[in-house]
Amino acid sequence: YDSPLFLIVCKDGPGASGPRAALLDGHLAHVEANWRRYVLAGPLRNPGETPLIGSYFLVRAKNADDALALMMGDPYVSSGMYGSMA
């Protein structure tokens, strides 16, 4: 798969821990269904702290719009759980 890579950093919105737990299965299913496009993904935490504050994704996409379309298929994104995405 020869495409540019896009780093997407998602910061949790208020009260994200409830939706994060409820949507975990759908989130993981989305990543698994698109595993060839996900180069790297993981949780964000403040140094030395346990609570999650967001997620990061390094994805293969044709362009920024394609990367956004991929991310919109993730229930974590489409539910509005993240307060920001950059």
pLDDT of residue 2: 78
CA 86 to chain centre: 11
CA 51 to chain centre: 16
28-46 pLDDT, tens digit per residue, is 999 999 999 999 999 999 9
CA contacts within 13 A on the Cβ side of 13: 12
71 with 28: CB under 8 angstroms? no
- The radius of gyration of the chain from alpha carbons, rounded to an integer in Å, stands at 13
Taking the model in full, what pTM does it have? 0.89
Neighbouring-strand partners of residue 55: 10, 43
